[in-house]
């Protein structure tokens, strides 16, 4: 990634202390989203990082992952599959429970989201401990597809998520 994009992102992303719970320093990407040029640079950089792997689908994690996943899917010419909190998807779903840096949660995906042989790129806004991405990766695998990697805007490297993810392909634009 070029240094000018990294600098622009570091200037735009704001930190909100004690959100959503005390002790958490939330990285707010809404200033990035409100700048159409910067937003396009972000989604292009994330898409381009995985273009050679030829994904067939983007699995976008609720909710800020949806904001990035749509433009990435369009740029790569892939399908877009929402990965949501329980009770938000109609029809039969698969569920995966996981732990967060500040609690526990679950994700769901439609059982017919993709067929065997699909190559899925998982997209989210922030990679923290890796729990959410691992849950999505397990859901993708359970449906017979291959999770080829993860694209995120922000990586909280101080939480060491890559140790949890192993040698799996991860591309982040900004690390804290």
Q: Tens digit of pLDDT for each residue in 61-88?
A: 999 999 999 999 999 999 999 999 999 9
- Global pTM reads 0.95
The answer to whether the beta carbons of residues 89 and 112 sit under 8 Å apart is no
Count up the domains in the chain and report the number. Answer: 1
* Domain that residue 122 falls in: 3-175
pLDDT of residue 116: 81
Query: Phi and psi of 164, rounded to 5°?
Result: -70, -35
* Catalytic annotation, pick one of 64, 84, 119, 137: 64
Query: Is residue 54 flagged as an active site residue?
Result: no
C-alpha angle with apex 171: 144 to 67, nearest 5 degrees? Answer: 75
* Catalytic annotation, pick one of 101, 138, 162, 164: 101
Q: Residue 42's domain is classified under what CATH number? A: 3.40.50.2020
Query: Is residue 101 flagged as an active site residue?
Result: yes
Low-confidence ranges of the chain (pLDDT < 70): 1, 101-102
């Amino acid at each position: 990634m070029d240094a000018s994009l990294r600098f622009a992102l570091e200037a735009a992303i704001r930190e909100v202390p004690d959100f959503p719970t005390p002790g958490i320093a939330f990285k707010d990407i809404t200033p990035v989203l409100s700048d159409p040029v910067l937003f396009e640079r972000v989604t292009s950089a994330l898409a381009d990082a995985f273009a050679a792997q030829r994904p067939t689908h983007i699995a976008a994690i609720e909710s800020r992952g949806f904001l990035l996943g749509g433009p990435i899917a369009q740029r790569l010419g892939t399908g877009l599959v929402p990965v949501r909190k329980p009770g938000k998807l109609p029809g039969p779903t698969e569920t995966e429970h996981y732990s967060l840096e500040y609690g526990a949660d679950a994700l769901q995906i439609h059982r017919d989201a993709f067929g065997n042989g699909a190559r899925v790129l998982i997209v989210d806004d922030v990679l923290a401990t890796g729990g959410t991405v691992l849950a999505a990766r397990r859901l993708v695998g359970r449906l017979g597809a291959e999770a080829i990697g993860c694209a995120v805007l922000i990586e909280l490297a101080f939480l060491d998520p890559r140790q949890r993810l192993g040698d799996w392909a991860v591309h982040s634009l900004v690390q804290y």
